[in-house]
């Protein structure tokens, strides 16, 4: 019995098929725990953002990780401030909680509530966020009722930000300081520390 195949071609074909399969494997996507109200709120904020800001979908799909703050509140009249809390997701799991503090000064008046996503292009950008060194300055914008969307058009130092207004009325041209904090969640598999 004679075959036209070369002995190495079957190996090459198998290797090529394996490489193709590995390249098509999708990263696991985070799924909220339905019994955790914070995770459910975060998942709803992500879905809303993807729907209202279609260009954010590719950022979520390609991001190494992200912080999602489902509800950030801001108020201002000359000086202003804002605060919100949320979750930090890496791959398919929540790795921590986060908070956002903001102080603004400039031409501004109003109040609004919005959802914010901070997307990290790579592990280095996420680690920078976890260290607490990430901060932003300066902003301009307007929102009325549920209309208002903001975001960076591309990654800047490995970070992209999208915000979607939930409710409020605010107009501003300000200088601001923003501080983010990160607190890791304790893994269920981690042994308890003893004194």
Question: What is the rounded average pLDDT of the residues 100-129?
Answer: 92
Q: 37-41, 136-140, 150-154 — which one is most confidently predicted on average?
A: 37-41
More confident residue, 90 or 169: 90
Query: Kindly report the CA angle at 185 between 181 and 166, in degrees rounded to 5?
Result: 55
How much is the pTM? Answer: 0.75
User: 161 to each of 16, 49, 84, how far by Cα in Å?
Assistant: 38, 11, 15
**CB within 8 Å of 159: residues ≥ 6 apart:** 118, 119, 120, 121, 125, 129, 134, 152
User: What is the pLDDT at residue 140?
Assistant: 56
pLDDT > 90 in the chain, percent: 51
Residue 145 has pLDDT above 70, yes or no: no
For the chain, how far is it from start to end, CA to CA, in angstroms?
74
Question: What is the rounded average pLDDT of the residues 161-177?
Answer: 84
Residue 94 has pLDDT above 90, yes or no: yes
User: Long-range contacts for 36-40 (Cβ within 8 Å, ≥24 apart)?
Assistant: 38/87, 39/87, 39/94
More confident residue, 27 or 165: 165
Question: What is the rounded average pLDDT of the residues 60-87?
Answer: 95
More confident residue, 1 or 170: 170
Residue 185 has pLDDT above 50, yes or no: yes
CA distance 70 to 63: 18
Residue 86 has pLDDT above 90, yes or no: yes
Burial (Cβ within 10 Å: 0-12, 13-18, ≥19) of residue 148: buried
User: What is the pLDDT at residue 172?
Assistant: 78
User: What is the pLDDT at residue 178?
Assistant: 86
Residue 27 has pLDDT above 60, yes or no: no
Assigned token pair, 157: 């130092």
């Amino acid at each position: 019995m004679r075959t036209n195949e070369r002995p190495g071609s079957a190996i090459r074909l198998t290797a090529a098929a394996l490489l193709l399969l590995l390249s098509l494997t999708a990263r696991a996507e985070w799924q909220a725990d339905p019994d955790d109200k914070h995770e459910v709120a975060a998942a709803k904020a992500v879905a809303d953002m993807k729907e209202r800001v279609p260009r954010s979908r590719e950022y979520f799909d390609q991001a190494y990780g992200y912080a999602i703050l489902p509800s950030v509140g801001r108020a201002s009249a000359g000086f202003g401030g804002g605060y919100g809390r949320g979750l930090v997701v890496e791959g398919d799991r929540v790795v921590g909680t986060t908070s956002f503090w903001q102080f603004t000064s400039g031409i501004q008046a109003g109040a609004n509530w919005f959802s914010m996503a901070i997307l990290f292009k790579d592990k280095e950008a996420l680690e920078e966020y976890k260290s607490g060194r990430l901060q932003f300055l300066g902003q301009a914008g307007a929102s009325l009722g549920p209309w208002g969307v903001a975001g960076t058009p591309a990654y800047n130092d490995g970070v992209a930000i999208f915000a979607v207004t939930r409710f409020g009325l605010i107009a501003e041209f300000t200088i601001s300081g923003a501080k983010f904090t990160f607190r890791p969640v304790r893994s269920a598999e981690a042994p308890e520390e003893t004194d």
